[in-house]
């Protein structure tokens, strides 16, 4: 029997979610989003869980949404509302998660592989980490409130390079803008994140939760409203000729042809 695409481990108050679809560069399927949303919702309620860690493989964090899933969803004749999809449950869960979220990122972190980090409290990166937000290159627009959070973090011009040009940036650049806390050798990254998570798990949970709530302040409502607005635009764009061309081109391993679009 093959291993699940999402591995979950509980130890010492820390729940670790490991992306385990390395042959497909840890791209996320609907089933993976659903599984992660369930783990997060349970972890929010379960008193023994004090912190959640996301980690991938030492060679790849996540290549973002599964593009085969995008292609199928874009072709649905009666598409489910975006807010009924597992990805929406996952994005809501990370945006509202009341306890600390920590991430260990090595290798490519594409699309939601990067935007999910905007909802983490601590992020540690291997020096091989490469962040990319190629939404426009896929005929899409930002999600996970990245259209709000990234300009706040990077400033408008650098956010435009990331979100409009879709230019990748490496771990050191991510450190400079504050997207990651520390850059470490890739083989040490998961251990560093775990050690920080254990430190958090040893602290009084109610004080941590209040601190997180106060630090987020009114931003959580703004984030949820932006995610809703992005979801509407994203769903429409997913069905556009440009997106279909981009998804098909990726699957067929060729360059997209956007002429006339
Ligand atoms: N969805 C579905 N399959 C994906 C995928 C994705 N997002 N990303 C990678 N894969 C698959 C590839 O199709 C390939 O499958 P195959 O072995 O059956 O041909 C396998 O994973 C390996 O990918 P490959 O592109 O050969 O690896 P690489 O090391 O050369 O490049 C990436 C790695 C992550 C840079 C590259 O795969 C990539 O750009 N992926 C797409 C990222 C993306 O646009 N995501 C959506 C963001 S919204």
Ligand 1 site-directed mutation target among 19, 31, 33, 63, most atoms within 8 Å of CB? 63
Query: How far apart are the C-alpha atoms of 114 and 170, rounded to whole Å?
Result: 12
Whole-number pLDDT of residue 260: 84
Task: Tell me if 108 CB under 6 Å of ligand 1.
Answer: yes
Q: What ranges do the domains of the chain cover?
A: 6-187+204-208
CATH 1.10.150.120 for domain 6-187+204-208, yes or no, is: no
Task: Tell me if 163 CB under 6 Å of ligand 1.
Answer: no
pLDDT in tens, 4-56: 999 999 999 999 999 999 999 999 999 999 999 999 999 999 999 999 999 99
Whole-number pLDDT of residue 37: 98
Q: What separation in Å is there between the alpha carbon of 137 and the centre of ligand 1?
A: 14
> Counting Cβ atoms within 10 Å, is residue 204 exposed (0-12), middle (13-18) or buried (19+)?
exposed
- Quick one: CA dihedral 141, 231, 235, 132, positive or negative? positive
pLDDT in tens, 196-240: 999 999 999 999 999 999 999 999 999 999 999 999 999 999 999
CB atoms within 10 A of CB 242: 17
> Using an 8 Å Cβ cutoff, are 182 and 175 in contact?
yes
pLDDT in tens, 97-113: 999 999 999 999 999 99
Task: Tell me if 64 CB under 6 Å of ligand 1.
Answer: yes
Q: Please enumerate in sequence order all residues whose Cβ is within 8 A of that of 161, keeping only pairs 6 or more positions apart, or say none.
A: 167
Residue 168 binned pLDDT confidence (cut-offs 50, 70, 90): very high
Residue 75 binned pLDDT confidence (cut-offs 50, 70, 90): confident
Task: Tell me if 142 CB under 6 Å of ligand 1.
Answer: no
Q: Which residues face 65 on adjacent strands?
A: 28
């Amino acid at each position: 029997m093959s291993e699940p695409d999402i591995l979950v481990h509980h130890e010492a108050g820390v729940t670790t979610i490991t992306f385990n679809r390395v042959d497909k560069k840890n791209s996320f399927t609907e089933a993976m989003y659903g599984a992660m949303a369930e783990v997060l919702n349970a972890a929010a309620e379960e008193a023994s869980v004090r912190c959640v860690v996301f980690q991938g493989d030492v060679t790849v964090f996540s290549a973002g949404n599964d593009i085969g899933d995008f292609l199928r969803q874009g072709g649905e004749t009666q598409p489910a509302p975006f807010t009924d999809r597992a990805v929406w449950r996952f994005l809501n869960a990370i945006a509202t998660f009341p306890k600390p979220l920590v991430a260990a990122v090595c290798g490519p972190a594409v699309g939601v592989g990067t935007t999910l980090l905007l909802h983490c409290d601590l992020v540690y990166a291997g020096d091989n980490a490469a962040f990319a937000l190629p939404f426009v290159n896929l005929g899409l627009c930002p999600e996970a409130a990245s259209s709000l959070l990234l300009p706040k973090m990077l400033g408008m011009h650098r956010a435009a390079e990331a979100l409009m040009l879709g230019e990748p940036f490496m771990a050191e650049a991510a450190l400079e803008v504050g997207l990651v806390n520390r850059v470490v050798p890739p083989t040490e990254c998961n251990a560093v994140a775990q050690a920080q998570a254990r430190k958090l798990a040893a602290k009084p949970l109610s004080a941590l939760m209040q601190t997180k709530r106060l630090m987020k302040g009114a931003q959580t409502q703004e984030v949820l409203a932006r995610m809703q607005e992005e979801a509407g635009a994203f769903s429409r764009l997913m069905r556009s000729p440009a997106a279909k061309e981009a998804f098909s081109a990726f699957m067929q391993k060729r360059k997209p042809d956007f002429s006339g679009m």
